[in-house]
């Protein structure tokens, strides 16, 4: 079983889902698979780089011969249910990367106060919560496919919402081959990498930084609709000399060399948090709010620190302590690198993927 078809929404990179598809396709192709890609609509960045990851790439059409000839089809986004009738249920998996399949608001937190939700989908409650902004999720239509997830957290959520067969396919990461030098000039370098939207919590990070009484420099890498609001907060907290916005970064891998701590201040229940795993793979300790699937990869006091969600006071205390303890940074960085090598290696991913293929035989 070597012929794989990915189906996604865009033909370029928007965020973590597209990067995951790109990297996993590259890895599978290097291990003898062919990986085709069909997208629903144009959109995203770095279209040529994204396209190069696949054996072929083209727009989705219901009569595409790939739907019949491929050994396995993996849906990486929710697509219009009118297309599902063309997908063979015995060869199709739905990869649940986010909460859209059971949350009508998509964020899986309440509109007032952004309090994280833990309910299963309920037609009446979720319609009220979403204020009628989005259509009901097509749970009934997608439950006929076996699902893939990256974390036990997501597996639990899908079971709670009526999916019978949910398989975990652990994430993978390529680890750094060079050592990491911490705080070369005595200044703690903090990195945020992600979309600048409310769920990613960059505003919570700035509130944390405003409480620090140490020498630090923070890089905010990424773009999104909240950038103007975040720039206003930087001025409000008098952080203009300490915070730098880079905008969208084509090669985020280059950022890890120049940081000492990766801050992952997510507000929403992150389904996994691949960017945190990237930090570990580069020997960078992580401070993260304890929500969603973050526990899947972050071992408290070993590779970083889990902080109660939204607790900016506790986060500031931890980051402040790390600024004066280069030895702790080095130890956690080393533990993170070892965890990435042992638990999330490319070899483990390919082996687990082959086991998933066996399910279809």
Q: Greater confidence, 361 or 157?
A: 157
Burial class (CB in 10 A: 0-12, 13-18, 19+), 255: buried
- Mean pLDDT, residues 127-135 taken together: 86
What pTM did the predictor assign?
0.92
Please enumerate in sequence order all residues whose Cβ is within 8 A of that of 65, keeping only pairs 6 or more positions apart, or say none: none
pLDDT at 206: 98
Burial of 299 (0-12, 13-18, 19+ CB in 10 A): middle
> What does the pLDDT read at residue 249?
87
- Write the pLDDT tens digit of every residue in 255-310: 999 999 999 999 999 999 999 999 999 999 999 999 999 999 997 668 899 999 99
What's the confidence (pLDDT) of residue 361? 62
What is the reported pLDDT for 14? 85
Say what the pLDDT of residue 177 is. Answer: 78
Mean pLDDT of 329-351: 93
Give mean pLDDT, residues 228-256.
93
Q: Terminal CA-to-CA distance of the chain, rounded, Å? A: 9
pLDDT over threshold 90, residue 360: no
In SS3 terms, 20-76 reads as HHHHHHHHHHHCCCEEEEEECCCCCECHHHHHCCCCEEEECCCCCCHHHHCCEEEEC
Percent of the chain with pLDDT over 90: 85
**What mean pLDDT value characterizes the chain?**
93
What's residue 329's pLDDT? 95
- Could you say which DSSP state residue 359 is in? H
SS (H, E, C) 263-285: EECCCCCCCCCHHHHHHHHCCCC
Q: In the structure encoding, which two tokens stand for residue 171, read together? A: 């994430």
Picking from 88-92, 193-197, 230-234, 355-359, which range would have the lowest pLDDT averaged per residue? 355-359
**pLDDT at position 1, please?**
64
pLDDT for the residue numbered 300: 62
pLDDT at 301: 61
pLDDT tens, position by position, 20-55: 999 999 999 999 999 999 999 998 888 999 999 999
147 pLDDT higher than 90: yes
Q: Is the pLDDT of residue 334 over 90?
A: yes
Percent of the chain with pLDDT over 70: 99
């Amino acid at each position: 079983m070597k012929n794989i078809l990915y189906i996604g929404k865009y033909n370029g990179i928007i965020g973590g889902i597209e990067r995951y598809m790109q990297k996993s396709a590259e890895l599978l192709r290097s291990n003898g698979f062919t990986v085709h890609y069909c997208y629903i609509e144009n959109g995203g960045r770095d279209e040529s780089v994204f396209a190069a990851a696949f054996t072929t790439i083209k727009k989705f059409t219901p009569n595409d011969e790939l739907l019949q000839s491929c050994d396995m089809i993996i849906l990486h986004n929710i697509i219009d249910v009118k297309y599902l009738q063309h997908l063979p249920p015995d060869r199709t998996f739905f990869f649940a990367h986010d909460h859209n399949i059971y949350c009508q608001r998509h964020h899986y937190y309440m509109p007032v106060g952004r309090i994280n939700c833990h309910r299963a989908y309920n037609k009446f409650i979720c319609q009220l919560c979403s204020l009628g902004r989005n259509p009901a999720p097509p749970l009934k239509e997608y439950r006929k496919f076996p699902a893939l997830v990256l974390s036990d957290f997501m597996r639990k959520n899908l079971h709670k919402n009526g999916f019978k067969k949910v398989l975990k396919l652990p994430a993978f990461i390529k680890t750094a081959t060079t050592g990491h030098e911490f705080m070369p000039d005595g200044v703690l370098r903090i990195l945020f990498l992600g979309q600048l939207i409310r769920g990613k919590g960059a505003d919570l990070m700035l509130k944390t930084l405003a409480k620090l009484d140490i020498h630090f420099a923070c890089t905010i890498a990424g773009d999104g609709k909240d950038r103007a609001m975040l720039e206003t907060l930087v001025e409000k907290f008098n952080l203009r000399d300490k915070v730098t916005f880079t905008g969208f970064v084509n090669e985020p891998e280059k950022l890890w060399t120049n940081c000492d701590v990766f801050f992952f201040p997510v507000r929403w229940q992150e389904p996994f948090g691949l960017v945190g795993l990237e930090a570990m793979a580069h020997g960078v300790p992580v401070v993260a709010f304890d929500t969603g699937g973050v526990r899947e990869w972050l071992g408290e006091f070993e590779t970083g620190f889990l902080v109660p969600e939204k607790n900016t006071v506790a986060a500031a205390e931890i980051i402040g302590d790390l600024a004066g303890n280069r030895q702790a940074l080095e130890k956690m960085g080393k533990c993170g690198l070892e965890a990435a090598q042992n638990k999330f290696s490319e070899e483990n991913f390919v082996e687990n993927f082959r086991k998933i293929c066996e399910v279809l035989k």
